Amino acid sequence: MGRQYAAQLTDDGRSLADAATETLNPPEERRALARDCASHVEEHAPFLLEELRGIADATSIDAELVAAVPLALDAEAGCSLVAVSGERTATGTPLFGRNHDFFPSFRDFSTLYRTAPADGFASIGCSCVYVGRCDGVNEAGLAIGFAEVPPHEFEPGIPWQLAIRAVLDSCQSTEEAVSFLESIPHATTVNFLAADATGDIALVEASPNRVTTTRPSGDHVSVTREFHTESMREAYQSTDRTPDDCARRQTVEAWFADQERPVSPADLQTAMGNPDAGMCWPVGDDGDPRSTIWSWVIDPADASGYLAADSPVETPYEPIKIGSE
């Protein structure tokens, strides 16, 4: 698929440098980190390195330089996620929402990818970096996304964007996603939220040294940049700040408390995309502040979703299905 991606860039009149969020000539320190991370990816998801080598071959760029961008990506994304059980939805099946909260300048790199690996599950998902994914849903009905958690320190391991891509390609249930995420070394501190078509929802709190998985006890869960379990907060964050201290989470929890009817996909679009009622950060005019630069509402049971491909304040949600343009 790497060669196919490179060919698509050529058809669009773009180079790999145009598509890369960081320089293709990184300093040696980042190259060394990428090499160390590559050894872990080779062990747990070698097909992703094969795809990167395909890009390198097709573009005639050194493979190490091509791989350094997704393997050592220096991106401190915020992000907000929600999963709603079928008990609370109008369809009786789960819903999944995710906002990618990052710098508006990165909208130039935001891309909807449609992936159909020969030996894996087809999927749709978005990312600012080639090969990796920030979120998505696959044809088995498994949805997943991330929110990075401070302190934003990297160690050799598998970066979140490649972990999510590996899950979408190879896992068909939340249980399989959890098993994979618990088995790999993680490069940084991150929250993963997964939900599948059966309604199994899991929050995986990961770090280079430990991984903790919980199943929400209520009919929905909202996740931002804080660890939920006390043990993870004690290890990596001040216990003085809890998930309930996050303003976005406070707003969306108040929204859910006010809902007297079952939640529909359109309702969840309001929760994710309305800055007054939900989790969205509008794009401001003062420089490049962190903002919501795309937003998903996903129906795992239908293996499809609704995507606002830019700020949901400015861009309507459009239906997106696997395998269709």
**Angle between helix 2-11 and 46-59 (nearest 10):** 40
Band of pLDDT at residue 289, cut at 50, 70 and 90: confident
Q: What is the pLDDT of residues 138-149, one digit of tens each?
A: 999 999 999 999
Q: What is the pLDDT of residues 269-283, one digit of tens each?
A: 999 999 888 789 888
Residue 288 has pLDDT above 70, yes or no: no
Mean pLDDT over 259-265 rounds to 95
Mean pLDDT over 159-180 rounds to 98
Residue 50 has pLDDT above 90, yes or no: yes
Q: Which of 148, 126, 96, 165 is nearest to 310 (CA)?
A: 126
Q: What is the pLDDT of residues 64-92, one digit of tens each?
A: 999 999 998 877 777 999 999 999 999 99
Residue 238's pLDDT is 64
Least confident range of 33-37, 178-182, 250-254: 250-254
Considering just the CA atoms, what is the radius of gyration of the chain in Å?
18
Residue 248 has pLDDT above 90, yes or no: no
Residue 85's pLDDT is 96
- Structural domains in the chain plus CATH codes: 2-71 (1.10.10), 80-314 (3.60.60.10)
Residue 286's pLDDT is 61
Residue 285's pLDDT is 60
